[in-house]
């Protein structure tokens, strides 16, 4: 979580991302500089499924297929996750299993603020969005 926050902070500080309105930048930095791990264990029926895939190596013993960080890839699609898994374990046979966990609605509310919208739906610099 810390490394993701550091990358997000750097993206704003080096100009790759611009905070609008500018007055929100102080809150953005305060939040990211004090970030803690987020628990996504609240499985909500209407949540968005986490885009994470577990790599299960064919013929590997149970210990090798333990769900540690080395056996996970992310992907916007299963095809993208498949490519990443092939790069991570070249020449190996494996099965991908999508993580059944979901992101809860508090996180989904944040997506409204950080997801690019078509020009006819651009968010104004008015009051914050409340989900």
What are 86-107's pLDDT values in tens digits?
999 999 999 999 987 766 555 5
Q: Is the pTM of this model over 0.85?
A: no
Q: Which residue has the higher pLDDT, 119 or 77?
A: 77
Per DSSP, the residues of 17-31 read S--SSGGGHHHHHHH
Which tokens hold the place of 62?
């149970």
Alpha-carbon dihedral angle through residues 81, 84, 85, 90, given to the nearest 10 degrees: 150
Mean per-residue pLDDT, 53-73: 76
Identify the three-state secondary structure at position 110. Answer: helix
- Residue 71: predicted pLDDT: 87
Which tokens hold the place of 22?
């500018």
- Residue 101: predicted pLDDT: 74
Are the CB atoms for 55 and 73 separated by under 8 Å?
A: yes
Confidence class for position 81, pLDDT limits 50, 70, 90: very high
What percentage of the chain carries pLDDT values higher than 70?
Answer: 61
Confidence class for position 12, pLDDT limits 50, 70, 90: very high
Average pLDDT, the chain: 76
Burial 7-39 (b: 16+ CB within 10 A, else e): ebbeeeeeeeeeeeeeeeeeeebeebeeeeeee
Which tokens hold the place of 77?
């699609």
Query: At which residue do the structure tokens 């969005």 appear?
Result: 129
Are the CB atoms for 53 and 78 separated by under 8 Å?
A: yes
């Amino acid at each position: 979580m810390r490394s993701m926050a550091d990358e997000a902070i750097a993206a704003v500080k080096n100009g790759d991302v611009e905070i609008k309105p500018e007055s929100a930048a102080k809150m953005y930095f305060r939040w990211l500089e004090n970030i803690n791990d987020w628990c996504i264990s609240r499985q909500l029926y209407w949540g968005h499924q986490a885009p994470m895939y577990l790599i299960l190596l064919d013929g590997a013993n149970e210990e090798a297929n333990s769900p540690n960080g080395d056996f996970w890839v992310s992907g916007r699609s299963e095809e993208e996750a498949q490519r990443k898994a092939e790069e991570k374990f070249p020449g190996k046979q494996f099965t991908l299993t999508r993580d059944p966990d979901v992101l809860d609605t508090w996180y989904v509310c944040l997506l409204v603020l950080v997801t690019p919208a078509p020009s006819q739906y651009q968010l104004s610099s008015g009051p914050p969005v409340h989900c």
